[in-house]
């Protein structure tokens, strides 16, 4: 196994040792890094499966994200924003605080009170971050909807949260076109009388119609006073609802609190990125996802960091766009997805090598397991073998990173494809079907054994579903729904979602490990694997593959890839069907929509595709399946 130890990071044995000695006191020590209006009297109230952290304490997320830095360095640059059309804006922490205060005052004038919900449906512009912090400042619960969602998806979420105010824009820019956000909102809420007001940011100049409940951001918010005191909120006060889509049923509203969540985010941001005052941080996640909440909004701002925010496709108008941004702003920390890296890797090394990436000192990944081959390309081609690769595992429900290398507190050898070890204060195990821990290097289900500060409070309006989804499989253990293994060094290897585990001839195989096997071949840029029913084996492995630029399909390539999988994983993983496509169906955040592949392969309805980046990718997969069907009909 390849090991990489490039000598970066700190040695702080006290942090992990303190967590192992007394987990609760450890998290209390971390919570003291935040500003509190009043201290807590009880660190943790644990009534399984409900946890309340730092009970009695009063704090405010907006105050910690803005006022703390403004008091020290008001002119520190907070946001370096760039739009797809080349427009640039710079906001200092003082600028950001003034804008947040104006919007907070505007919301109060509209009657928004502590505990009310505000839906935010904006593109990746500074006003998106302003909106979240303005809600947090007055105790309103923000619920962000990714700007790629459809009118029906918006309606479902607004109805569930009963938001009285929606914040949107005339449009957003994506791949040279304008996404008409206000028009989508109008359709979504046409007959929802409980939505009293819509604040509209005029961002693109797109021609839109206004109704009596609409307020123009520039006129309405712009007229407000730039000062607004932050509300002293209970540590357990809900900060936000973030909806996660399932393959069936309505989306789940994950509910996060304030004090515990902020403590977990603050700590992990420091441990993972070893953030310094001189850093320029760039996380490519949209704020519509949890990574954007934790590691674009709250984490960086609580540390007074300077960060790049970009609106648009990272590979538009050319795949060099991301490398040009890094070079232009002298980015030191890049945090992106493995799917995006596979896309960039497909284009070869010439584009990143033609840009100045010498400012980079740390590279991170998030969202799904990273293939070892992609890890090595990221390390060698982008990091020039000088930057540690920080592969992180966590979920919307966990609030912040749970497994990751931690350059901010320790130096450990890195293993390509592993997210390393759990962060201090988090207890993770790999168990079998009945909850018994499995042996080292054995596959099983990932569980969290004890409550942690960033964990969700519940599901919005549905405590029973919260219990059923996360806590019913194993007693007093959080079921993450992921398939994984832990090696003898305590490193954890994610093998895909538990519902993506294939059962072939009695053997369990994670889709992620098979996909990594394909991507480790020199010709393959991306792979997506799913199973189709098989009378004898239970499931038959089918793979959709994207070739790297410069390679073409040959009749011998299929057999070469089959033998490669048999060699790298084992004969049991032998794929029955391989299909080569130009693109895979992905969300606009860059994740492969594997559920679509599975649905198409089984002839089922594909469901909601409102977040799909390119519908042509689905047509291409359907064509491949049509070819498959004809093949199966042949004698």
- pLDDT at position 249 over 60: no
Reported as a pLDDT band with limits 50, 70 and 90, residue 9 is: low
**Cα-based distances in Å from 334 to 146, 319, 418, 612, 622:** 22, 16, 18, 24, 35
Q: Whose CA is closest to 243, among 340, 159, 367?
A: 159
- Domain end call among 484, 515, 534: 484
Contact 235, 57 (CB under 8 A): yes
- 164 and 79 part of one domain: yes
| Structure confidence at residue 625 (pLDDT) | 54
- 461 and 532 part of one domain: no
Q: Lowest mean pLDDT: which of 211-220, 242-251, 292-301, 580-589?
A: 242-251
- 445 and 524 part of one domain: no
Query: What is the distance between the alpha carbons of residues 419 and 405, in angstroms, rounded to a whole number?
Result: 7
Q: Is 391 exposed, middle or buried (0-12, 13-18, 19+ CB in 10 A)?
A: buried
Residue 477 lies in a domain: yes
Whether omega before 317 lies within 30 degrees of 0, making that bond cis, reads yes
Reported as a pLDDT band with limits 50, 70 and 90, residue 248 is: very low
| Structure confidence at residue 8 (pLDDT) | 55
Residue 490 lies in a domain: no
* 3-state DSSP assignment of residue 314: coil
- pLDDT at position 632 over 50: no
More confident residue, 18 or 401: 401
- pLDDT at position 447 over 90: yes
Residue 1 lies in a domain: no
* 3-state DSSP assignment of residue 38: strand
- 205 and 319 part of one domain: yes
**Cα atoms in the 13 Å half-sphere on the side-chain side of 378:** 30
- pLDDT at position 268 over 60: yes
- 401 and 547 part of one domain: no
- 319 and 222 part of one domain: yes
Contact 257, 239 (CB under 8 A): yes
DSSP class of 500: G
Domain count, the chain: 2
Q: Whose CA is closest to 235, among 82, 56, 102, 411?
A: 56
- pLDDT at position 531 over 60: yes
| Structure confidence at residue 535 (pLDDT) | 72
| Structure confidence at residue 343 (pLDDT) | 85
- pLDDT at position 476 over 60: yes
- pLDDT at position 506 over 60: yes
Phi-psi map region of 397: left, alpha, beta (phi>0 left; psi -120 to 50 alpha)? alpha
Maximum Cα interatomic distance, the chain, rounded to a whole number of Å: 77
Contact 200, 182 (CB under 8 A): yes
- 555 and 466 part of one domain: no
Reported as a pLDDT band with limits 50, 70 and 90, residue 634 is: very low
Token pair belonging to 330: 């002298």
Which residues make Cβ contacts (< 8 Å) with residue 90, sequence separation at least 6?
77, 79, 80, 81
- Torsion angle, alpha carbons of 578, 582, 586, 589, to 10: 130
Query: What is the distance between the alpha carbons of residues 541 and 278, in angstroms, rounded to a whole number?
Result: 49
**Cα-based distances in Å from 18 to 12, 13, 197, 425, 575:** 10, 8, 49, 9, 47
Contact 165, 107 (CB under 8 A): yes
| Structure confidence at residue 441 (pLDDT) | 93
| Structure confidence at residue 512 (pLDDT) | 80
* Mean model confidence pLDDT for the chain: 90
| Structure confidence at residue 342 (pLDDT) | 86
- 194 and 283 part of one domain: yes
Reported as a pLDDT band with limits 50, 70 and 90, residue 607 is: low
- pLDDT at position 614 over 70: no
Q: Whose CA is closest to 517, among 477, 473, 564, 451?
A: 564
In this structure, how many other beta carbons lie within 10 angstroms of the beta carbon of residue 55? 16
Residue 467 lies in a domain: yes
- Domain end call among 484, 517, 549: 484
Query: What is the distance between the alpha carbons of residues 457 and 51, in angstroms, rounded to a whole number?
Result: 7
Residue 500 lies in a domain: no
| Structure confidence at residue 633 (pLDDT) | 42
Structure confidence by residue, pLDDT tens digits, 81-91: 999 999 999 99
| Structure confidence at residue 631 (pLDDT) | 46
- 164 and 127 part of one domain: yes
Query: What is the distance between the alpha carbons of residues 140 and 135, in angstroms, rounded to a whole number?
Result: 5
Token pair belonging to 148: 């790629």
Q: Is 41 exposed, middle or buried (0-12, 13-18, 19+ CB in 10 A)?
A: exposed
Find the CATH number of the domain harbouring 510: 3.30.300.30
DSSP class of 436: P
In this structure, how many other beta carbons lie within 10 angstroms of the beta carbon of residue 631? 10
- 180 and 112 part of one domain: yes
| Structure confidence at residue 169 (pLDDT) | 97
Q: Lowest mean pLDDT: which of 171-180, 191-200, 223-232, 458-467?
A: 171-180
Q: What number is the average pLDDT over the span 566-584?
A: 85
| Structure confidence at residue 618 (pLDDT) | 59
Structure confidence by residue, pLDDT tens digits, 151-210: 888 999 999 999 999 999 999 998 899 999 999 999 999 999 999 999 999 999 988 999
Q: Whose CA is closest to 362, among 320, 404, 316, 318?
A: 404
Residue 493 lies in a domain: no
Reported as a pLDDT band with limits 50, 70 and 90, residue 148 is: confident
| Structure confidence at residue 10 (pLDDT) | 64
| Structure confidence at residue 163 (pLDDT) | 98
* 3-state DSSP assignment of residue 317: coil
| Structure confidence at residue 469 (pLDDT) | 93
DSSP string covering 359-384: T--EEEE-SSPPPHHHHHHIIIIIST
- 92 and 225 part of one domain: yes
In this structure, how many other beta carbons lie within 10 angstroms of the beta carbon of residue 116? 19
Q: Which DSSP helix (H) or strand (E) runs through 68?
A: helix 68-72
The boundaries of the domain holding residue 626 are 505-633
- Domain end call among 452, 484, 516: 484
Structure confidence by residue, pLDDT tens digits, 429-442: 999 999 999 999 99
Query: What is the distance between the alpha carbons of residues 597 and 9, in angstroms, rounded to a whole number?
Result: 40
Token pair belonging to 48: 């399984």
| Structure confidence at residue 247 (pLDDT) | 45
Exposure string for 608-626, b = 16+ CB within 10 A, e = fewer = bebbbbeeebbebbeebbe
Q: Which DSSP helix (H) or strand (E) runs through 620?
A: helix 615-633
Structure confidence by residue, pLDDT tens digits, 342-388: 889 888 899 999 999 999 999 999 988 888 999 999 999 999 999 99
Residue 358 lies in a domain: yes
- 519 and 455 part of one domain: no
Structure confidence by residue, pLDDT tens digits, 594-606: 777 777 777 777 6
Find the CATH number of the domain harbouring 457: 3.40.50.12780
Q: Which DSSP helix (H) or strand (E) runs through 501?
A: strand 501-504
Residue 156 lies in a domain: yes
Query: What is the distance between the alpha carbons of residues 58 and 60, in angstroms, rounded to a whole number?
Result: 7
Query: What is the distance between the alpha carbons of residues 125 and 368, in angstroms, rounded to a whole number?
Result: 25
């Amino acid at each position: 196994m390849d090991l990489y130890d490039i000598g970066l990071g700190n040695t702080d044995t006290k942090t992990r040792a303190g967590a192992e000695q007394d987990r609760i006191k450890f998290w209390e020590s971390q919570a003291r890094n935040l500003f509190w209006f009043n201290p807590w009297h009880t660190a943790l109230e644990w009534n399984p499966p409900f946890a309340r952290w730092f009970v009695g304490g009063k704090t405010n997320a907006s105050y910690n994200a803005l006022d703390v830095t403004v008091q020290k360095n008001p002119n520190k640059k907070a946001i370096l924003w760039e739009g797809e059309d080349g427009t640039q804006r710079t906001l200092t922490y003082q600028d950001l605080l003034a804008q947040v205060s104006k919007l907070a005052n505007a919301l109060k004038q509209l009657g928004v009170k502590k505990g009310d919900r505000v839906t935010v449906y904006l593109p990746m512009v500074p006003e998106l971050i302003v909106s979240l912090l303005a809600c947090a400042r007055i105790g309103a619960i923000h619920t962000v909807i990714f700007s790629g969602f459809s009118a029906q998806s918006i309606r479902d979420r607004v109805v569930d949260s009963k938001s009285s105010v929606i914040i949107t824009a005339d449009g957003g820019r994506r791949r040279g076109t304008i996404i008409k956000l206000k028009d989508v909102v109008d359709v979504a809420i046409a007959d929802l009388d409980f939505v009293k007001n819509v604040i509209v940011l005029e961002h693109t100049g797109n021609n839109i119609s206004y109704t009596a409940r609409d307020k123009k951001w520039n006129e309405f918010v712009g007229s407000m006073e730039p000062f607004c005191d932050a509300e002293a909120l209970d540590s357990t006060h809900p900060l936000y609802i973030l909806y996660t889509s399932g393959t069936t049923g309505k989306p789940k509203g994950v509910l996060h609190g304030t004090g515990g969540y902020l403590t977990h985010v603050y700590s992990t941001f420091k441990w993972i990125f070893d953030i310094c005052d001189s850093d320029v941080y760039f996380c490519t996640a949209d704020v519509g996802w949890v990574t954007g909440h934790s590691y674009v909004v709250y984490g960086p701002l609580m540390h007074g960091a300077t960060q790049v925010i970009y609106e648009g496709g990272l590979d538009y108008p050319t795949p060099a766009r991301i490398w040009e941004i890094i070079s232009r702003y002298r980015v030191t920390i890049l945090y992106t997805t493995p799917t995006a890296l596979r896309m960039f890797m497909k284009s070869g090394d010439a584009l990143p090598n033609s840009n100045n990436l010498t400012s980079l000192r740390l590279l991170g990944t998030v969202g799904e397991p990273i293939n070892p081959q992609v890890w090595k390309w990221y390390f060698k081609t982008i990091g020039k073998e000088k930057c540690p690769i920080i592969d992180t595992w966590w979920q919307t429900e966990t609030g912040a990173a749970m497994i990751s290398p931690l350059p901010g507190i320790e130096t450990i050898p890195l293993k390509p494809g592993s997210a390393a070890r759990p962060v201090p204060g988090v207890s993770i195990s790999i168990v079998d079907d009945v909850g018994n821990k499995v042996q080292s290097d054995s596959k099983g289900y990932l569980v969290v054994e004890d409550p942690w500060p960033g964990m969700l409070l519940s599901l919005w309006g549905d405590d029973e579903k919260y219990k059923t989804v996360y806590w019913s499989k194993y007693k007093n253990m959080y079921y993450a729904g992921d398939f994984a293994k832990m090696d003898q060094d305590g490193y954890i290897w994610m093998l895909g979602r538990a519902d993506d585990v294939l059962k072939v001839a009695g053997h369990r195989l994670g889709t992620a490990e098979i996909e990594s096997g394909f991507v480790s071949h020199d010709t393959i840029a991306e792979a997506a694997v799913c199973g189709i029913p098989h009378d004898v084996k239970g499931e038959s492995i089918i793979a959709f593959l994207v070739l790297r630029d410069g390679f073409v399909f040959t009749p011998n390539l299929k057999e070469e890839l089959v033998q490669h999988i048999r060699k790298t994983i084992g004969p049991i993983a032998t794929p029955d069907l391989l299909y080569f496509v130009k693109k895979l169906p992905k969300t606009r955040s860059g994740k492969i929509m594997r559920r679509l592949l599975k649905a198409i392969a089984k002839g089922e309805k594909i469901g909601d595709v409102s977040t799909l980046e390119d519908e042509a990718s689905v047509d291409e997969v359907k064509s491949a399946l049509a070819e498959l069907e004809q093949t199966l009909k042949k004698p």
